[in-house]
Amino acid sequence: MKNESENQTGLIDWYLIGLDKIVEKLPLARISKLIDWENFRRPIEEAFERLKLKAVGRPPFDCILMFKIIFLGKFLGFNYSRLEIEIPINYSYIKFLGLSFGTTVIPDESTIRAFNDNLHRVGIYSKLFETIDQMLLCEGRKIQYVNPQKAQSKITTIRSKSKKS
Protein backbone atom coordinates (compact mmCIF):
# COMPACT_ATOMS: atom_id res chain seq x y z
CA MET A 1 0.00 0.00 0.00
CA LYS A 2 1.34 3.44 -0.94
CA ASN A 3 1.73 6.02 1.76
CA GLU A 4 0.42 9.58 1.39
CA SER A 5 3.80 11.13 0.41
CA GLU A 6 4.21 8.65 -2.47
CA ASN A 7 0.77 9.67 -3.80
CA GLN A 8 1.69 13.35 -3.52
CA THR A 9 4.91 12.82 -5.42
CA GLY A 10 2.95 11.03 -8.14
CA LEU A 11 0.52 13.92 -8.43
CA ILE A 12 3.36 16.44 -8.59
CA ASP A 13 5.13 14.40 -11.26
CA TRP A 14 1.88 14.17 -13.23
CA TYR A 15 1.37 17.91 -12.91
CA LEU A 16 4.92 18.69 -14.09
CA ILE A 17 4.56 16.32 -17.05
CA GLY A 18 1.46 18.27 -18.05
CA LEU A 19 3.34 21.54 -17.65
CA ASP A 20 6.22 20.19 -19.75
CA LYS A 21 3.81 19.56 -22.63
CA ILE A 22 2.54 23.14 -22.43
CA VAL A 23 6.01 24.68 -22.01
CA GLU A 24 7.34 22.80 -25.07
CA LYS A 25 4.98 24.88 -27.24
CA LEU A 26 6.15 28.26 -25.90
CA PRO A 27 8.67 30.51 -27.71
CA LEU A 28 11.45 29.98 -25.14
CA ALA A 29 11.37 26.22 -25.69
CA ARG A 30 11.57 26.69 -29.45
CA ILE A 31 14.46 29.14 -29.07
CA SER A 32 16.26 26.78 -26.72
CA LYS A 33 16.08 24.00 -29.31
CA LEU A 34 17.59 26.26 -32.00
CA ILE A 35 20.51 27.62 -29.98
CA ASP A 36 23.44 25.57 -28.76
CA TRP A 37 24.15 27.55 -25.60
CA GLU A 38 27.41 25.70 -24.94
CA ASN A 39 28.90 27.56 -27.95
CA PHE A 40 28.97 30.64 -25.72
CA ARG A 41 30.91 29.09 -22.82
CA ARG A 42 34.40 29.50 -24.26
CA PRO A 43 34.06 33.15 -25.40
CA ILE A 44 32.53 34.16 -22.07
CA GLU A 45 35.07 32.30 -19.94
CA GLU A 46 38.01 33.60 -22.00
CA ALA A 47 36.74 37.16 -21.84
CA PHE A 48 36.13 36.96 -18.09
CA GLU A 49 39.64 35.58 -17.55
CA ARG A 50 40.91 38.92 -18.88
CA LEU A 51 39.03 40.69 -16.10
CA LYS A 52 41.01 38.69 -13.54
CA LEU A 53 38.13 38.80 -11.09
CA LYS A 54 38.99 37.48 -7.65
CA ALA A 55 36.59 34.84 -6.41
CA VAL A 56 35.25 35.99 -3.06
CA GLY A 57 32.37 34.34 -1.21
CA ARG A 58 30.26 31.62 -2.75
CA PRO A 59 31.37 29.93 -5.99
CA PRO A 60 30.17 31.80 -9.10
CA PHE A 61 27.12 30.63 -11.00
CA ASP A 62 27.71 28.84 -14.28
CA CYS A 63 28.38 31.36 -17.06
CA ILE A 64 25.85 29.71 -19.40
CA LEU A 65 23.12 29.94 -16.76
CA MET A 66 23.97 33.60 -16.22
CA PHE A 67 24.04 34.37 -19.95
CA LYS A 68 20.69 32.64 -20.44
CA ILE A 69 19.29 34.81 -17.63
CA ILE A 70 20.62 37.92 -19.39
CA PHE A 71 19.04 36.67 -22.64
CA LEU A 72 15.75 36.02 -20.83
CA GLY A 73 15.75 39.56 -19.48
CA LYS A 74 16.42 41.04 -22.90
CA PHE A 75 13.88 38.77 -24.61
CA LEU A 76 11.11 39.61 -22.11
CA GLY A 77 12.12 43.19 -21.34
CA PHE A 78 12.64 42.41 -17.65
CA ASN A 79 15.00 44.35 -15.41
CA TYR A 80 17.29 42.58 -12.94
CA SER A 81 14.94 42.73 -9.96
CA ARG A 82 12.04 41.42 -12.04
CA LEU A 83 14.19 38.51 -13.24
CA GLU A 84 15.04 37.64 -9.64
CA ILE A 85 11.33 37.56 -8.78
CA GLU A 86 9.98 35.89 -11.93
CA ILE A 87 12.46 33.06 -12.48
CA PRO A 88 11.65 30.96 -9.39
CA ILE A 89 7.88 31.17 -9.95
CA ASN A 90 7.63 30.63 -13.72
CA TYR A 91 8.05 27.04 -14.83
CA SER A 92 8.84 27.93 -18.45
CA TYR A 93 11.73 30.14 -17.29
CA ILE A 94 13.00 27.41 -14.98
CA LYS A 95 12.94 24.86 -17.82
CA PHE A 96 14.58 27.29 -20.26
CA LEU A 97 17.41 27.86 -17.80
CA GLY A 98 17.84 24.13 -17.18
CA LEU A 99 16.98 24.43 -13.50
CA SER A 100 14.81 22.28 -11.24
CA PHE A 101 11.52 23.56 -9.89
CA GLY A 102 11.90 24.74 -6.29
CA THR A 103 15.29 23.17 -5.63
CA THR A 104 17.80 25.54 -7.16
CA VAL A 105 19.43 28.71 -5.87
CA ILE A 106 18.62 31.54 -8.27
CA PRO A 107 21.08 34.42 -8.77
CA ASP A 108 19.92 37.62 -7.13
CA GLU A 109 19.52 41.02 -8.76
CA SER A 110 23.05 42.23 -7.94
CA THR A 111 24.63 39.03 -9.29
CA ILE A 112 22.68 39.31 -12.54
CA ARG A 113 23.60 43.00 -12.84
CA ALA A 114 27.30 42.30 -12.20
CA PHE A 115 27.39 39.56 -14.84
CA ASN A 116 25.69 41.83 -17.38
CA ASP A 117 28.07 44.69 -16.53
CA ASN A 118 31.04 42.35 -16.97
CA LEU A 119 29.79 41.24 -20.40
CA HIS A 120 29.76 44.91 -21.40
CA ARG A 121 33.10 45.63 -19.70
CA VAL A 122 34.90 42.93 -21.68
CA GLY A 123 33.15 44.02 -24.87
CA ILE A 124 31.35 40.81 -25.82
CA TYR A 125 27.73 41.59 -24.95
CA SER A 126 26.76 42.78 -28.45
CA LYS A 127 28.76 40.03 -30.15
CA LEU A 128 27.00 37.32 -28.13
CA PHE A 129 23.57 38.62 -29.10
CA GLU A 130 24.63 39.04 -32.73
CA THR A 131 25.66 35.37 -32.66
CA ILE A 132 22.24 34.38 -31.31
CA ASP A 133 20.55 36.41 -34.02
CA GLN A 134 22.72 34.74 -36.69
CA MET A 135 22.00 31.24 -35.32
CA LEU A 136 18.28 31.94 -35.48
CA LEU A 137 18.47 33.52 -38.94
CA CYS A 138 20.13 30.34 -40.20
CA GLU A 139 17.00 28.52 -39.00
CA GLY A 140 14.72 31.06 -40.66
CA ARG A 141 13.79 32.72 -37.36
CA LYS A 142 14.13 36.22 -35.97
CA ILE A 143 13.74 37.59 -32.45
CA GLN A 144 12.19 40.91 -31.62
CA TYR A 145 13.58 41.90 -28.25
CA VAL A 146 11.42 43.93 -25.90
CA ASN A 147 12.67 47.43 -25.08
CA PRO A 148 12.35 47.68 -21.28
CA GLN A 149 12.31 51.50 -21.36
CA LYS A 150 9.28 51.51 -23.65
CA ALA A 151 7.57 48.79 -21.63
CA GLN A 152 8.21 50.80 -18.48
CA SER A 153 6.96 54.00 -20.14
CA LYS A 154 3.68 52.31 -21.06
CA ILE A 155 3.20 51.13 -17.48
CA THR A 156 3.98 54.60 -16.18
CA THR A 157 1.53 56.21 -18.63
CA ILE A 158 -1.28 53.82 -17.70
CA ARG A 159 -0.74 54.45 -13.99
CA SER A 160 -0.57 58.22 -14.39
CA LYS A 161 -3.88 58.25 -16.35
CA SER A 162 -5.65 56.20 -13.70
CA LYS A 163 -4.52 58.59 -10.94
CA LYS A 164 -6.05 61.58 -12.76
CA SER A 165 -9.49 59.97 -12.92
**90-125: per-residue pLDDT in tens?**
888 998 998 887 666 889 999 999 999 999 999 999
In a domain, 94, yes or no: yes
In a domain, 8, yes or no: no
Say if CB 91 and CB 23 are below 8 A apart. yes
In a domain, 12, yes or no: no
Other CB atoms closer than 10 Å to residue 60's CB: what's the count?
15
In a domain, 14, yes or no: no
pLDDT score recorded for residue 1: 47
Q: Domain range holding 147?
A: 26-164
In a domain, 7, yes or no: no
pLDDT score recorded for residue 161: 45
In a domain, 87, yes or no: yes
pTM for the full predicted model: 0.76
Compute the distance between CA of residue 69 and CA of residue 88 in angstroms, rounded to an integer.
Answer: 12
Compute the distance between CA of residue 122 and CA of residue 49 in angstroms, rounded to an integer.
Answer: 10
- CA 138, 76, 33: angle at the middle one, nearest 5? 35
Per-residue pLDDT 10s for the chain (165 aa) are 455 545 555 655 655 666 667 777 777 888 888 899 999 999 999 998 887 765 555 678 999 999 999 999 999 899 999 999 999 988 889 989 988 876 668 899 999 999 999 999 999 999 999 999 999 888 888 887 876 655 543 333 334 444 444
In a domain, 77, yes or no: yes
Q: How many domains does the chain have?
A: 1
